[in-house]
Amino acid sequence: MPTDQPAWVLSRRQAVGARIRSAREHANLSQLQLGNLVGADHKTIHRIEHGTSDPKLGLLIQIAHEVKTDLADLVR
């Protein structure tokens, strides 16, 4: 993870991750199940949810689809 980013970037990533975690839980999916659905390791899902990963747009689109939420609602 690049360390030259401003602190607010980490804060925003953590907020997005919290919304993803909430949507995943609302969809009754574990990190392992969501990872399998989107072709990612459950550790990747964990890192996204905790804001320590900077996922590509394609993965975010897949996650939104699997948790049946608009992408805009996850990244607002």
Domains along the sequence of the chain with CATH: 14-75 (1.10.260.40)
Q: Please determine, for residue 41, whether its predicted confidence score (pLDDT) is greater than 90.
A: yes
Question: How far is it, in rounded angstroms, from Cα 15 to Cα 72?
Answer: 13
**27: three-class secondary structure by DSSP:** coil
> pTM of the entire structure?
0.91
Query: What is the reported pLDDT for 3?
Result: 61
Q: What confidence tier does 5 reach under pLDDT thresholds 50, 70, 90?
A: confident
Determine the average pLDDT of the residues in 11-25. Answer: 97
Q: Please determine, for residue 70, whether its predicted confidence score (pLDDT) is greater than 60.
A: yes
Q: What confidence tier does 9 reach under pLDDT thresholds 50, 70, 90?
A: very high
Tell me: the pLDDT tens digits for 24-38? 999 999 999 999 999
